[in-house]
Chain A
Amino acid sequence: MDKAGARREEILERLEAEGGVTPESVARIALETGVPEADVWGAGRFYSLIREPGRRVRVCTGLSCRLAGATHRIEELERSGEPREEVSCIGQCDRAPAALDPDLELIPGTGTASSVLPDDPALPVNLGGADPAGYEALAKAQAAGPESVLGIIEASGLQGRGGAGFPAHVKWRAVAGQAERSRYVVCNADEGEPGTFKDREIMERRPHLLLEGLAVAAATIAASEIIIYIRGEFRDAKRSLETALKEAAGHLEPFDIRFANGHGAYICGEETALLESLEGKRGMPRLKPPFPTENGFRGKPTLIHNVETAACVPFIIHHGGERFRDLGRTGAGTKLYCVSGHVNRPGVYELPLGVALDELVETAGGYTGSPMAFSPGGASSGFLPMSLRGLPLDFRSLDREGSMLGSAGVVVLNDTVDLVAAADWQTRFFDDESCGQCAPCRIGARFLRNACGRFRTDGDPDALLHVEDVGWEMEEGSICGLGMVAAKPLTSAMKHFPDAFRRQR
């Protein structure tokens, strides 16, 4: 239990400043903050960027980086004797195979900078456009008043872009309608879904757009504090936002905007785990209900939005909800699709929501080789066969196929890929990133990892017995969304590519 006045929210930042968890750093921080030593220790050991001291290169082992030769890179580093750590996806799939130097600065792979579409003011996010610090949408929203803004957001049909696709206006109204006056806006910039790097591009290219969207939300729901929880590995994105915040100063005066660093935990992209992390705890998701709109940061009503969702808001305010809605094909608005893997120009492309795979990949320069499978929404969406290439890439259609649009991190795999290996990599990712709180996910993910690994080694399908049962239980019994999808890579690969999982020898 904390001492009265303990400053728990500071402990993770302090651990980072101290260079990581050691008994000495933990004892010092506990003494200075009034948080029990064991709690500082347990929280710090949760996060891969601070759990151990020591400088090392971090090599991404995400799917796209694996496809681009991450394994080779790891072997090279091993030979050179340089301290290294294999880490989960670092959100640089378009620059694969990527790594981070000991200061967490990017060491890009062979690919060049990410591709985006050229400047087009008709696009709501328009990554290729200028990013002026005008803040006219904010002024317009403030003049129109909250009720009017809520109506516009509702008319836009804007759905959360973080993965769940929850209608934005429902969340806004839920927070706005709380009796509690102390409220927060939290921006989820902890982008970590393997195959996803759109939020990074928004923060680097359109930081003002993001800040403005968040400010409109805060003004509408009567929150004065905005916290941007930004992935610890995204050094460039954070610098970009910090610069923008200085440039915007006057416009954003009524708001208290601050940054909080992620410390290396995919699960903190889950909104309640993010809140726990903000409060200086282990990133273990909370039970829902209650939802953050009622009981969020510090127990207060909190509006949590993904970066892209907030970045859509200024356009909607400028041009009206209908204009945004009509930009979509099978859902409302445009969507930033991240494309990586076996395509010619990996990058982020803003296209109508509901575009099909072929059209998307054409924009990304076409397929490399002969496509065999794709993941429409990162690791969480599993693998789909090319026979489903005609599906609209939207929330509903993919859901019906037992997959998901998620964060729209589309990864294409051509026929040179060993699909069992790909399923194995993704399964390991979820096992590495499970928080460990609930048994279905903690034990289930390890079971799947072992099963897939054994099949890969022995080629004996008996290793895969009960994968379906365990996958079912993880989806039904886990506390949060990570556990619910962690079996998808393996179960979807087994379902759609049964030949790959027959007896191999």
Chain B
Amino acid sequence: MSDRFTITLDGRNCPATSGETVLDVAGREGVSIPTLCHDPRLDPAGACRTCLVEVAGERRMQPACAFRVRPGMEVTTGSERIARHRKVLYGLYLADHRLDGSGLPSENGSVNRLREQAARSGALVLPPVNAPRSGRPGDSNPYIRFDPDLCILCARCTRYCDEVEAVSAITLTERGAATTIGTIGDSGLLDTSCELCGGCIDTCPTGAMTEKKSYGIRHEEMEQVRSTCNFCGVGCQVDLKVHNGRVVKVASPPPGETVNDGNLCVKGRFAYDFIHHEERLRYPMIRGRDGELHRASWDEAIRKTTEGLLAVKEKHGADALGFVSSSRCTGEENYLMQKLSRAAFGTNNCHQCAAT
């Protein structure tokens, strides 16, 4: 099936395989083509029009994200025509977008990819079009905020919700200039099928879908720390965004890089308040004869636990003990837990909360 051939990209011969898009080949060859509506996890939409290129024999410019390569195809990614197209297209985007004092797309904290692309294109300055695009200001869900003034209608969020999560809580709604991202009856996300995975936030290129809790904290002021989510044993990778020594946001690494392929669940993405919670346990404690908990060392704590468990075994037998592991543990940790149960204490009473 996979025919190999060459195409010409800006006059250069490049290897290509049938089924690939122009964007696939360009990406491999290091040829930069701007995109906004493209997400490798989604079917190409070709809707944002930023990636239009010229293909010899095609009367119209074609979207690189969707156009499939053919043997001998000649593609041009830079020409006067493409430059004019980008200049006016970005001008239109800017006329339909919230701008900051510099006349470039605003950032509400998240990265706005339109900002850099528009600056590079020398976008035409047009008066604001004042599209009647509504948001859902009354949506009381605790996590996800939709900012219609930053939305470019690329539909990555709705397509992600449908194609990746199979949840379809949000949809393109209305028509023409009024088109927006909506829900049934404009209800809040908590009253829809939304699972609050927040994937819409990660895929949004402009920050129109953004996180309520960290709203307004500038991305340049955040440090990024790659870590492993500890809510379950899958091992999703997370990028902790740290501001003034506190985790203020959790993002997924980009698709294609880690086991979770750009996805996270509601817990991994939003349930990070425990990290800095004042009641969080940071060291072992042992209840003393006074009935109060007292700080202890790990050695003391483990010794105390061992004594207690061995005492039960001696008095009632090994099967009086039971070991319950957590789905927050990794596979390796679960293995050690059952080994502890069976080899060290001699009982098969071993369970894990996700085993049912």
Contact = CB atoms under 8 A, between A and B. Distances in A.
Interface in B149-192: 152-153, 158, 162-163, 166-179, 182-185, 187, 192
A476 interface: yes
Q: Please classify how large the interface on chain A is, using the bins under 10, 10 to 19, 20 to 34, 35 or more.
A: 35 or more
A41 interface: yes
A378 B126 CA distance: 29
B84 interface: yes
A174 interface: no
Nearest to B187: A23
Interface in B29-52: 44, 46-49, 52
A476 B92 CA distance: 14
A22 B49 CA distance: 33
A36 B193 contact: yes
A479 B173 CA distance: 19
A85 interface: no
A442 B167 CA distance: 27
A436 B175 contact: yes
11 contacts: A23-B185, A38-B169, A46-B174, A46-B175, A432-B176, A436-B179, A437-B179, A445-B176, A445-B177, A446-B177, A476-B81
Nearest to A463: B127
Interface in A1-60: 1, 22-23, 26-27, 30, 36-42, 45-46
A447 B92 contact: yes
A265 B95 contact: no
Contacts, number: 160
A287 B63 CA distance: 9
A274 to B, nearest CB: 16
B88 A436 contact: no
A245 interface: no
Given A1-B162, A438-B47, A446 B175 contact: no
A448 B80 CA distance: 24
B170 A38 contact: yes
A439 B89 contact: yes
B88 A443 contact: no
A472 interface: yes
Interface in A447-505: 447, 450, 466, 469-470, 472-473, 476-479
A435 B178 CA distance: 10
Given A38-B170, A444-B92, A447-B126, A479 B46 contact: yes
A431 interface: yes
B92 A470 contact: yes
A437 to B, nearest CB: 5
Contacts of A470: 88, 92, 126
A345 interface: no
A40 B192 CA distance: 13
Nearest to A470: B88
A432 B179 CA distance: 11
Contact of B124 (A30, A265, A434, A469): A469
A39 B131 CA distance: 23
Contacts of B46: 287, 479
A478 B167 CA distance: 30
A477 B85 contact: yes
Interface of A: 1, 22-23, 26-27, 30, 36-42, 45-46, 265, 282, 284, 287, 431-440, 442-447, 450, 466, 469-470, 472-473, 476-479
A42 B161 CA distance: 14
Contacts of A437: 47, 153, 179
Contacts of B182: 38, 41-42, 45
A255 B81 CA distance: 48
A434 B176 CA distance: 5
B218 to A, nearest CB: 27
A285 to B, nearest CB: 10
B66 interface: yes
Nearest to A46: B175
B174 A436 contact: yes
Contacts of A438: 47-49
Contact of B129 (A27, A435, A450, A469): A450
- Minimum-distance CB pairs A-B, first 7: A42-B171, A436-B179, A23-B185, A36-B168, A473-B88, A38-B171, A1-B166
Interface string B174-217: 11111100111101000011000000000000000000000000
B153 to A, nearest CB: 7
A434 B177 contact: yes
A479 to B, nearest CB: 7
B192 A38 contact: yes
B88 A265 contact: no
Contacts of A443: 92-93, 95-96, 129, 131, 177
B282 to A, nearest CB: 43
